[in-house]
Amino acid sequence: MLYFQALGLDITDEQIQEMEINIENIDFERAAKEEKKFRHDVMAHVHTFGAVCSKAAPIIHLGATSCYVGDNTDLIVLRDGLEILKPKLASCLDQLCKFAVEHKSLPCLSYTHLQSAQVSTVGKRACLWAQELLMDLKSLERVSSELRFRGVKGTTGTQASFLSLFEGDAGKVEQLDDMVTNMAGFKSHFIICGQTYPRKVDTDIISVLASFGATVHKICTDIRLLASFQEMEEPFEADQIGSSAMPYKRNPMRCERVCSLARLLMSIVQNPLATASVQWMERTLDDSANRRVVLAEAFLAADAIVQTLQNVFEGLVVYPRVIARRLSEHLPFMATENIIMAMVRAGGHRQECHEKIRSLSLQSASLMKQEGLPCDLLDRVRSDPYFFPILHRLDDCVDASTFVGMSVRQVERFMTEEARPVLEKYEDRFTKAVKLEI
């Protein structure tokens, strides 16, 4: 009302002071009774506020609508919710980046189709996760930066009531719109809207949160699979029980919880999509009840997920010897091309060598599958006189660190060029170590 007064409307200092004094003086019991009577939440509070502000009562809600109150408030809440999530996600990403750097050179078996593929590193795989979380953080930044205030627009967005209050002075209406927008902490407002702000805003924000849900579901599924391989584990506390029936179990319950909440988060986006699609003309009211549920639910789910995920990243356990053992079972087959090239450099015939190594590989693979024996391909190579010229170089041919390609360099470049420039903006707002209470 201060802005109305500044722009020339007949509003007294006494009326404004009365409202300021009573701004926290809310009789919720009376408001509930008023809402039951009027079947209207905003008007219930207008009447309740007017009861304690008798001098200001005539000007409360002057020219405004329910959506002026409710929608602008929702936009403030959405903005503040994004500001809470962004540093939490940045903190979570920072923990994962530290993990990736620590293990950037540790060779591990990589998988396509969940079948053994080539050699990567634990840090490089962690960067696959980190890159998607970074994309999510940038998406949160985008929707946050693009968020606009509804502002002072009137019943159906025409600003007719305010134009009437200012006796046809369009400049004052626009000035009021800008003043209220700035007061609420927004850089801009919608020029065009109906009774509500566009419900595509909800869709955009929840879509970003749902996409984050897909990211973390993939990450935690990977960790669960790696836990089943015994290569990696989430934190497991000293007194934690994995199973009521199987005392030896170390179930990845944190990652399972994240996956469960992530599925909820991913499913929520269907609701705002449907709502945006049926906003007839300037609006319908079938958006109101579900938005009160889904907007809060999406942010609460995302918040629970990001805190749980940070707890996981802070305590990830890696088992290098298990990783090395699993890698050793497959590395000799991956090294066959290196063995062939070494033989060629020693004067051998490529096609002849290829047939030799192919035959030995099939024999070894057959024993592994049929008899459950470990890979003995290298022993077969050492025992075959054909390969005598390169036996002194055989260990070099199967050195896992020579199979990781650009993995280490890629981790370093990702950190320097992509992750760190974004994370530096949040360093003073990183979340301290997360302790799960449930």
What are the catalytic residues? 113, 243
| Residue corresponding to tokens 């990589």 | 110
- C-alpha 1/C-alpha 108 separation (Å) is 65
- Strand 317-318, strand 107-112: pairing: unpaired
CA nearest neighbour of 122 among 204, 1, 238, 231? 231
Tell me how many degrees the CA angle 299-304-305 measures, rounded to the nearest 5.
Answer: 95
Residues 6+ apart with CB under 8 A from 348: 389
CA nearest neighbour of 420 among 87, 94, 85? 94
Q: For the chain, how far is it from start to end, CA to CA, in angstroms?
A: 46
What secondary structure, in 3-state letters, does 341-402 show? HHHHHCCCCHHHHHHHHHHHHHHHHHHHHHHCCCCCHHHHHHHCHHHHHHHHHHHHHCCHHH
- C-alpha 223/C-alpha 236 separation (Å) is 13
Residues 6+ apart with CB under 8 A from 321: none
- C-alpha 323/C-alpha 99 separation (Å) is 16
Residues 6+ apart with CB under 8 A from 131: 414, 418
* Total count of residues recorded for the chain: 438
- C-alpha 312/C-alpha 233 separation (Å) is 9
Q: What is the DSSP string of 14-32?
A: HHHHHHHHTTT---HHHHH
- C-alpha 386/C-alpha 418 separation (Å) is 49
What are the start-end ranges of the E strands in 200-357?
232-233, 317-318
